[in-house]
A and B are shown apart, each in its own frame.
Chain A
Amino acid sequence: NAGVTQTPKFRILKIGQSMTLQCTQDMNHNYMYWYRQDPGMGLKLIYYSVGAGITDKGEVPNGYNVSRSTTEDFPLRLELAAPSQTSVYFCASSPSGTSVAEELFFGEGSRLTVL
C-alpha cells in the first residue's frame, strides 16, 4: 500500500543548481498535482496533469517544469534554484478528476532549502 511516494525527503541546493523531485503513485490515478507550502501559508498549486502526456500550469508555475510520460510518474524539475523556492513540496494524485468532491492522495512531502 505505497500510495504516493516522493523522493528525496530533504535536499539542500545552492543558488543556480538544478534538481528533480520525483513522484510516483501506484493507484493508477489519472490526475497528479504538485503543490508547495510556505510557512504560514496554504498549499499553492504549481502544476498538474490530467493524464500521461498532458500537463498544465497551476497558480505558481514560474521556475518549475514537469513532464508526465507515464501514468505513474510526475517529476518536478527546478532548473535554476533560487532562495524563493525554499519550501515543502507535496505531490498528490486523484482517481479521475471528474468530481469536485474527489479526494486527493498526498505524498509525505519533500523539504527543499536553497542557500
Chain B
Amino acid sequence: GNSVTQMEGPVTLSEEAFLTINCTYTATGYPSLFWYVQYPGEGLQLLLKATKADDKGSNKGFEATYRKETTSFHLEKGSVQVSDSAVYFCALSGGTSYGKLTFGQGTILTVHP
C-alpha cells in the first residue's frame, strides 16, 4: 500500500537559515504529492502540490520537486522566518483514492529570531 516517510523532527533553525524537510514515498502508479502546513491553533492547510514527475510546487517561498526516480518530494526554503514555525505534513493521493490522502508523521519546525 501507499506510505509516506518524513524526516524525524523537531527541526530548530535560526531566522534566515536554509530549510530542508525530507519526504519519501511508496505508492503504486503515479500519485499526486502535497505539503500541508499546520500553524499553531489552526487546521491543516495546503502549502503546495505537484501532480506529475519533475513538477515543482511552490508557494510562500517554499518549493518541492516531484522526483520519481528517488520517490521523493523534499520541502525547501532558502530563508526561513519566525512566522514559518509550524508542523509540516507530506502527503500523497494516488489511484482512485480521491481525497483519501496518505500522510507522513509531520515535522515540527521552530524558527528562532
Which of B11-19, B38-46, B73-81 binds A? B38-46
- Contacts A33-B100, A94-B99, A100-B51 given; indicate if A108 touches B45 (C-beta within 8 A): no
A101-115 vs B, Cβ < 8 Å mask (1 yes, 0 no): 111111111000000
> A100 to B102, Cβ gap below 8 A?
no
* Chain B interface size, under 10 / 10 to 19 / 20 to 34 / 35 or more: 20 to 34
Q: Output the residue of A35, A92, A97, A102 with the most chain B CB within 10 A.
A: A102
> B46 to A100, Cβ gap below 8 A?
no
CA distance in complex: A33, B14 (Å): 36
Main secondary structure of the interface of B (DSSP, over half): loop
Interface flag for B32 (CB, 8 Å): yes
B97-113 vs A, Cβ < 8 Å mask (1 yes, 0 no): 11111111110000000
> B46 to A108, Cβ gap below 8 A?
no
Interface flag for A90 (CB, 8 Å): yes
> B43 to A106, Cβ gap below 8 A?
yes
Nearest chain A residue, comparing its CB with the CB of B30? A100
CA distance in complex: A97, B31 (Å): 15
> B44 to A106, Cβ gap below 8 A?
yes
Q: What's the minimum C-beta distance from B32 to chain A, rounded to whole angstroms?
A: 4
- Contacts A45-B100, A48-B100 given; indicate if A101 touches B105 (C-beta within 8 A): no
- Contacts A106-B45, A109-B43 given; indicate if A97 touches B101 (C-beta within 8 A): no
Which of A11-19, A36-44, A64-72 binds B? A36-44
Binding site for B on A (CB under 8 A): 4, 31, 33, 35, 37, 40-45, 48, 58, 90, 92, 94, 97-109
Binding site for A on B (CB under 8 A): 4, 31-32, 36, 41-46, 49, 51, 89, 91, 93-95, 97-106
